[in-house]
Structure 1
């Protein structure tokens, strides 16, 4: 497992040895960065994105996460040409992102070279799912999850707002058992669901180090990089649902009997 955990170890080293501005590249929730706003902190984050974007995106593809190019914040809007874009800076470039998503090194390398400003998304429901929760609930659940090796997996942070827990995707016995993401977490309506969101088939999430409209960036939690094994989603879901309930977030997944 030493080779598989190489990136997670690198992320830990970046946090342990980083300066204040570099610390924002990975999140340490015990000691959150003091500078979360302002042009100086934003410029430092953007420099880190430029320096390490290719390395992090390549590592995610090597870990088996299917990727596709995404738009990026531009001015006060989106780099796409859609008038009134509902999720500026937060969606794939192509409408064909589900079939376009790939882990092939040559294709990933070409995207990185020809689209130097692009963010990247990973298509869920193919090789992995993502359980997306408010950060306060995610922090509460994280200690319990890391204490159990079976539920330890990659975790990304969307600034200080939300934590994204990467899991394996379940293959149903019957096609009718598929739980489409439109049930509760379609990307264009995600804000309507402030609690837990299960990104599965038909959905996607941004990957670190994606730039966000707020000026922040996505980041992997130290020791929780994409090279970790993907845990079964159901035990993780149980722990995250309990944590969300403690903060008053109603679990919209309780009414779904997937695979039962």
Structure 2
């Protein structure tokens, strides 16, 4: 199997077959392409969002059905958590119960913002959406090609100049549990430095959500906002794996679900 998940001469994608059987009715999500979010500038590390902007961004995410939970924040170049030598500073949930805590309730969001005014936020994947996570250079290249072809790009977020997050429809939990595995069986989000290529965040994982901030002034912002319809991930995989190959992040060990 190569880095794109293809096997044999027929070039049939293992991940493609795995996904197609779970799509209800075989329908594809479609939608018009809207202007890119004005929050894109924050992905460049220019400035942090104001309290009102933070609330607006989070409410836009929950209106799109993204379950969110509060996360640690930067304290200088350290993490706000009490873990010595935290491997993922400001990039992990505050609570170990984040999977059950994640919510789309606006009142809960307001409560968290009042209680944790400096907190970052994550969204739990595998419930309302999955996320295909790639190096920023590959993400920009793939997005240009997707938009040029009129393809369904869906919501896209950028973590500074490091990573692009492509939000997609989720497979959820299939009827045949023998063919499903949670992300934690392969990796956790903090293993990024060991596996820098394409990562598929599904059930059991999470990603940072705008308006999170990291050390060094790095901001997480929308390139394409959460109001965009969620595309079938198979519609993006070819473009993303090809782009990863072109930027040198296509080794087989860099293909991860998690």
TM-score range, shorter chain: 0.7 to 0.9
Distance 1:25 1:253, change over 3 A: same
* TM-score of the aligned structures, taking structure 1 as reference length: 0.78
Q: Is the 8 A contact 2:199 2:255 kept in 1?
A: no
Q: Is the 8 A contact 2:126 2:170 kept in 1?
A: yes
Count the aligned residue pairs: 226
- The Cα shift of 1:80 comes to 1.1
Task: Name the residue aligned to 1:25.
Answer: 42
Question: Which of the pair is proportionally richer in strand?
Answer: 2
Distance 1:249 1:183, change over 3 A: farther
Render the CA deviation track for 1:20-40: whole Å, top value 9, x for unaligned: xxxx3256xxxxxxxx6xxxx
Task: Name the residue aligned to 1:186.
Answer: 188
- The Cα shift of 1:254 comes to 9.5
- The Cα shift of 1:84 comes to 2.0
Instruction: Give 3-state SS (helix, strand or coil) of 1:113's partner.
Output: helix
Distance 1:235 1:183, change over 3 A: farther
* TM-score of the aligned structures, taking structure 2 as reference length: 0.79
**What is the RMSD of the two structures over their aligned residues, measured on CA atoms?**
2.6
Moved over 6 A (4+): 253-257
- Equivalent in 206, 209, 220 of residue 207 of structure 1: 209
Distance 1:143 1:10, change over 3 A: closer
Cα separation, 1, equivalents of 2:126 and 2:252: 18
Highest relative contact order (Cα 8 Å, sep 6+), 1 or 2?
A: 2
Matching of residues 223-242 of structure 1 within 5 Å:
224-242=224-242
5+ residue gaps in structure 2? 1-30
Task: Name the residue aligned to 1:11.
Answer: 37
Cα separation, 2, equivalents of 1:165 and 1:146: 13
- The Cα shift of 1:75 comes to 2.1
Matching of residues 1-80 of structure 1 within 5 Å:
9=35, 11-12=37-38, 24-25=41-42, 41=46, 45-46=47-48, 48-80=49-81
- Equivalent in 198, 217, 220 of residue 218 of structure 1: 220
Render the CA deviation track for 1:48-98: whole Å, top value 9, x for unaligned: 343411110111011100000001000221111222211111110000000
Distance 1:100 1:241, change over 3 A: same
